[in-house]
Amino acid sequence: MYKTVFNKRESFKFKHFSRKGYALFACLGREVIVGTLSVATLTYAKADGVSVRTDIAEAGIADTTRVMTLDEVDVTASRAPLAGGRVPRIVTVLGRDEIAAAPAQSVNDLLKYAVGVDVRQRGPIGAQTDIGIRGGTSEHIAILLNGVNICDPQTGHNAFDLPVDISDIERIEVVEGPAGRIYGTSSLLGAVNIVTKAADASSIEARAEGGSFGYADAGARLGLATGKWSNSISGGYTRSDGYLRSKSGSLNADYSGGRAFYQGRYGDGSVALDWHAGVSTKGWGSNTFYSTLSDEQYEHTTKYFTAVKAETKGGWFHFLPSVYWNRFNDRYEFYRGAPDSSPFNYHRTDVIGLNLNSWFDWTLGRTAFGAEVRNEDIISTTLGEPLSSPKPIHGTDREYTCGLNRTNISLYLEHNVVWRRLTVSAGFTAVRNTWSEMPFKIYPGIDASYALTTALKAYASFNMSLRMPSFTELYYSVDGHKADKHLKPEEMSAVEGGLRYSAGGVSATLSVYRHWGKNMIDWIMDSIQADEQTSRQGADMASGSDANLLVNSSARSSSLYQVWTSVNHARIKSTGIEASVALDFRRLLPVQRLLRSFDVAYSYIDQSQRREESIQSMYALEYLRHKVVARLGIDILPSLALDVNYRFQERVGGYTDTDGVDRRYKPYSLVEARLAWNCRQYSLYVEANNLFNTDYVDYGNVPQPGLWVMAGAKLNFRL
């Protein structure tokens, strides 16, 4: 549902008119250039512009003018840059305006309003959320920070432990569908790229907010820009008492965490450099996140992110190398603060990557080629093969006793042809992974678009991708789980067609797709086997004439005997439809100033699954069949804005509750709102999540918070 202005580097005349200071942009004195972000490239993207005639005399424009320049937007969606919005792939972008207006406290919250994205929340304010695209799980998407892959090969559950918060973000880009030739083995069903702000001027930003359930948040950002150099550094801290307590009365949904992020840039006529470093550390009560056998689970993660990128400019050949290193530390407690009851699980993952991208122009079009080498290494108390030499765990008297190392090598080639109204982009990635001893395997893809009119464009594509199993799926065999280290990589093929319309303040999209998934990985449980195990246990106790033991055991759920097993379980075929309409009332009804915008989007998915009736799925066989998102923007006063968001979801699947009863997921609707007083140097705001106090779950046995109200203030000063 989200759209953003597709900025094009042009000179605009900014003309003031009316007493309230409303403004109208006019290009070269008579035309307004408006673009809707629909396609983009790895390096940059330009406006797919729509010109709208404006009668200057009727608008009453004053004589005074000033010129402003809008910078180009960098969007990651292909290997080589194509000018003029010619890349034939639709990209959903949550821009700076949408981010600022959303009643959200984390990137996870923002993605709830992208209609093709499934955000399954366990803990609020970014504590832990699984994010999938088009019926997939959190393991099926690539997560990028400024175009750098930051996926956690240990588990997708903690993939969004980011070193940045909302105030650092310029935009969020969502690519839906297999994208193997762009992002490699992580992007089975799409990708999310978080792009942070560059310091275009020296400034200081600060914010503080607080609210329900002991929630408090504070952060600051310093930007320094001098000539060719740009630097920014930010930090923040968030905490909450949580909204739940365990049966013993202890907090089991609390949260506390901090983050810090530094970004630097240098650019001249021959080269551009970009580098960043960040850290995220947080701990949260995990109540019944992973099992109903304990409602006092707890988890703590610390993650480090570093990357350096470069791009040569000028000449016929362009070279874009990047190198990155990420370290992820995870401590999981099945019984919080009680290692004697269940030893804590410790994991440390190091990921080192080198990406060599390049492109050049020639007679037949534009060609991109390159390679990526990504090494993933884990040492753990539970995941991997036994280490020949155990390694000490910092801050404890324990040792890492297991580990695994694997290297993924990707080669890719892509060619792009632009001819009149037609654009075709085709290529492949060849992948080899040392863990599975798999030879190089090719995954092709082709995208095409055709401009039917200046306002209407048609799209079509076929793409394939794969995903390597996570370390958890391969080796986690404790606390009621049994992993299979011989899992095969998942594979996905997809075809898609769509239309996009944009003119006169109205933007609309329609997409239809079909996915074929093979060797899909899931944690499953056979309820028949679990029931038989429970019955045998009861019969054994009865034959022993221990009535008290039998009575006491009846209070224990049969889940004590349920074992979740990781398997290449299913072939899944998915058919989906997505549609959206966005209205810009400032252009449709320029005589009024109350209504700003209205967006609505709908997604439908139907899956054909091959599985046994007794099998209960933990992830892969559950998906959103229906999802509706809508947003209404109202300008009550020139500085007072109200944004109301609505979301409806109906999920396919079910779970066994703590009493051993099988339940289906119930559909639910949520309304969230944000009221803000916005001025040049400060902003005051109040936000309400779950405005009508709806009872709902995204995962079984993990209830979500009711009405959550918070208020805050932001300051912004130029130096």
Question: What is the reported pLDDT for 622?
Answer: 87
- Tell me, yes or no, whether 5 lies in a domain: no
- Tell me, yes or no, whether 673 lies in a domain: yes
Q: Write the CATH number for 420.
A: 2.40.170.20
Question: What is the reported pLDDT for 293?
Answer: 86
- Tell me, yes or no, whether 2 lies in a domain: no
- Tell me, yes or no, whether 6 lies in a domain: no
pLDDT at 400 over 50: yes
* pLDDT tens digits along 32-73: 333 333 333 333 333 333 333 333 233 333 333 333 333 344
* pLDDT tens digits along 185-209: 889 999 999 999 988 899 999 999 9
- Tell me, yes or no, whether 358 lies in a domain: yes
Question: What is the reported pLDDT for 444?
Answer: 95
DSSP character at residue 84: T
CA–CA separation, 444 vs 426, rounded Å? 8
pTM of the entire predicted model: 0.84
* pLDDT tens digits along 599-657: 999 999 999 866 556 677 766 678 999 999 999 999 999 999 999 999 999 999 888 88
Mean pLDDT along residues 387-393: 96
Strands annotated E in 40-99: 50-53, 65-69, 92-94
Mean pLDDT along residues 238-257: 93
- Tell me, yes or no, whether 1 lies in a domain: no
CA–CA separation, 38 vs 507, rounded Å? 10
DSSP character at residue 490: E
- Tell me, yes or no, whether 550 lies in a domain: yes
Q: According to DSSP H, which parts of 464-588 are helical?
A: 471-475, 527-543, 547-554, 585-588
pLDDT at 488 over 80: yes
CA–CA separation, 349 vs 377, rounded Å? 6
CA dihedral 161, 699, 579, 91 (to 10 degrees): 20
- Phi and psi at residue 360, to the nearest 5°: -155, 160
Tokens of 37: 């972000």
CA–CA separation, 481 vs 485, rounded Å? 13
Query: How many residues belong to the chain?
Result: 719
Sheet with 11-16, strands from edge to edge, namely 23-26, 11-16, 65-69
Point out the least confidently predicted range of 13-27, 64-78, 110-124, 216-230: 13-27
- Contact 524/616 with Cβ under 8 angstroms? yes
Question: Would you place residue 2 in the very low, low, confident or very high pLDDT band (cuts 50, 70, 90)?
Answer: very low
- Structural domains counted in the chain: 1
CA–CA separation, 120 vs 137, rounded Å? 9
Range of the domain at 581: 11-718
The letter for the amino acid at 430 is A
